[in-house]
Structure 1
Amino acid sequence: MTAIGYHASHEQFSPSELLEFVELAEENGFDHALASDHFHPWSERQGESGFVWSWLGSAMERTSMTFGTVNAPGYRYHPAIIAQAAATLRESYPERFWLSIGSGQLLNEGITGTDWPVKDERNARLEESAGIMRRLWSGKEVTHHGRISVERAQLYSRPETSPPLIGAALSEETARWLGQCEWTDGMITIATPAREALENRVGAFRDGSPEGEVYLKVQLSYAEDEEAALEGAYDQWRTNCVPGPVTQELRTPAEYDELGDEISREQVAENVRVSADLDEHREWLAADRSMGADRLLLHNVNRGQRQFIEAFGEDVLPALSLE
């Protein structure tokens, strides 16, 4: 049975609000949560960006759900520190924390003044970071000199089992690479209305890792009527619909907003599943499940979180469990 989770968007809501939302999500039948790890929001309109590693302890104490976050080790975070943070959460809350890692965005990682490398180099740094974390979780003393430097590091507080390590992919090329990487337990990618592109990414990963788990972060916008659903998505998420690699050159929310002003509502609807029809959302999610997704993490990109959680908890999640 595909598990259903709630996405806690730290770019859009304060940490205290998100604690209320994950409690409400659990009350309404969500089993899992994904939390974003950002230093900046995607837009000035979103206006938040809490520190996820502080928040996760509070959220896991207040609920019984599993939690994960998508992190970019090797820039603003040293991988040894992320390994320690993940180990502490999983030891404190056994089997309930998983970690996804990706190559990151300049928007977040650029705050340290680092030179931002090309994608192939970022992937190489990501793989090196993953190896360091794996070794630390196994209890080994790690010394490593490469793209990342580690000197005689050893984790003394470790969980009984290491956190699952899930690679993040936005393209078919990255998905295929992840499927060939020994360090991955699975892949997380974005589910949008572009069904063929999504199937290609999942297929590319499965080609190399047929047993690896697939997590889908589902971008949707639900509201009481179609206009409100589209306007809510346009207001909050159009900066995430800027096409192409140009976003890798943007350092600030204001720069995203400048490009976002060129995005139309039609382009938003091509990137977000916009609908006021709960049956339509259920059908989309059922199709995701039929693709073999192990976990669906639902991100309602507009600001109506309570309405979304309660409506999906009452009408969508129960229907999916019966299919």
Structure 2
Amino acid sequence: MARIGYHASHEQFAPAALRDLAIRAEAAGFAAIKCSDHLQPWSASQGQSGHAWCWLGAAMQATTLPFGNIAAPGYRYHPVVMAQAAATLAQMFPGRFWLALGTGQALNEAMTGGVWPDKPERNARLKECFDVMAALLRGETVTHRGRITAIEARVWSLPDAPPPLLGAAVTEDTARFVGGWADGLLTTGGDPGHVARVIESFREGGGAGKPVHVQHALSWAPTQDEAMAQALDQWAPAAIGGEVNWDLRRPSDFDLLAPLVDENRIARSVRVSADPGLHRADVQALADLGADTVFLHNVGRNQEDFIDMAGRELVG
């Protein structure tokens, strides 16, 4: 059985409330926590986007669990600054922090004023950022001139062991791309067949034996109607799919498309069910594919009730 973690969604909850949810999740029996790293929410109705790195220090101090973060270096975060932040957390909380690096979304990264590139260019930038960050976290002094620039950069406050730098991927091609150099994989849940192909591609690309984390979106409530209403209210804009998620720049753009997401479409990316047994079976199916940790992201506003239910039905 994989470890079951809790996903803390900065897009949906104010930082202080999200810290308290992390404390509640640990008390309920969750084994790990990860968070998103957004500058803007997917939708105006979500209404939040606290600074993930500030929050991580407070939340990790308030708990004892391992934490992870997914972020995109090379845009609003220079990779040298991100490496410094990762090193600081790993030094203060030894063995408790990992970081997944992704190619990002225009929603969060495009407002720095640069041209938002296509996926192949974003992949190339990601690899450069990884190489710079990995060298810095090994204690090296780095000069690099390419898609990003670092001149005699060094991180002085280092942990005893560098935090793992995972690669984030939702497609087979990207998973294969990160397999050869990332320390592990972070991917999304959903259809087991698709997840299996992504994990296998990661392993074929060089990721065999490396850890796999899965962020699994679900919507639980006491009734099926409530669960569906929560999913459509909070997660319809993020369930559009295709290249839209990576290229739209404003929450208002996503809100324009949200009415196109009906119950059938939301079910393609979010498991909507009032039955804890079905959610338990989903976790087991992902564990059977080789996931080391499955992070549950209940997309609704009912986080306290979900955590309490999970403590009784899912994480024990």
Same topology, TM > 0.5: yes
Residue 79 of structure 1, CA deviation: 0.1
Q: Tell me which amino acid in the other structure corresponds to 1:5.
A: G
Quote the Cα distance in structure 1 between the aligned partners of 2:244 and 2:9: 23
Q: Does 1:238 align with 2:236?
A: yes
Amino acid at match of 1:202: I
Residue 160 (str. 1) matches residue 160 (str. 2): yes
Aligned to 1:284: 282
Q: Which residue of 1 aligns with 2:300?
A: 302
The offset of 1:6, in angstroms, is 0.4
- The number of equivalent residue pairs is 315
1:71-110 → structure 2 map (5 Å cutoff): 71-110=71-110
Is residue 2:167 matched to residue 1:170? no
> Secondary structure of 2:151's partner?
strand
User: Which of 191, 202, 206 is the aligned partner of 1:205?
Assistant: 202
TM-score, normalised by the number of residues in structure 2:
0.98
Q: How does 1:107-118 map to 2 (within 5 A)?
A: 107-118=107-118
Helix, strand or coil for the counterpart of 1:5?
A: strand
SS of corresponding position for 2:188:
strand
Q: Decide whether the 8 Å contact of 2:44 with 2:251 is kept in 1.
A: yes
1:321: which partner in 2? none
Shift of 1:265: 1.7
Confirm or deny that 1:143 pairs with 2:143: yes
Residue identity in the other structure for 1:89: L
- Tell whether the 8 Å contact from 2:2 to 2:284 is kept in structure 1 after alignment: no
Question: 1:255-266 alignment to 2 at 5 Å?
Answer: 255-266=253-264
1:186 aligns with 2:184: yes
Aligned to 1:250: 248
Matched, 1:223 2:221: yes
Question: Which amino acid is 2:66 matched to?
Answer: T
Partners of 1:177 and 1:137 lie apart in 2 by: 22
**Deviations 1:182-233, CA, capped at 9 Å, x for gaps:** 2x111111101x2211111111112232111110001001100000001100
CA contact (8 A) 2:192 2:285 kept: no
Give the whole-Å Cα distance in 2 for the aligned partners of 1:248 and 1:226. Answer: 30
Distance in 1 between the 2:19 and 2:114 partners? 33
Report the CA distance between 1:317 and its aligned residue.
1.3
* One-letter amino acid of the counterpart of residue 252, structure 1: R
TM-superposition CA deviations, 1:88-120 (whole Å, max 9, x none): 000001011100000000000011111011101
Q: Give the ranges of 4+ consecutive aligned residues of structure 1 lying more than 3 Å apart after TM superposition.
A: none
Identity of aligned pairs, percent? Answer: 45
Partner of 1:293: 291
Unaligned runs of 5+ in 1: 319-323
Paired residue type of 2:302: G
Which TM-score applies when normalising by structure 1? 0.96
**What secondary structure, in the 3-state scheme, does the structure 2 residue paired with 1:317 have?**
coil
1:247: Cα distance to partner? 2.9
Given candidates 212, 215, 230, the residue that maps to 1:214 is 212
AA at the equivalent of 1:305: Q
CA root-mean-square deviation = 0.9
The Cα shift of 1:249 comes to 2.6
Partner of 1:267: 265
- Give 1:243 shift: 2.4
- Counterpart amino acid of 1:101? L
Gaps of 5+ in 2: none
Distance 2:246 2:131 in 1: 25
1:27-66 aligned at under 5 Å gives the runs: 27-66=27-66
Q: Distance in 2 between matches of 1:144 and 1:243?
A: 35
**Residues in 2 aligned to 1:141 and 1:317: alpha-carbon distance in whole angstroms:** 43
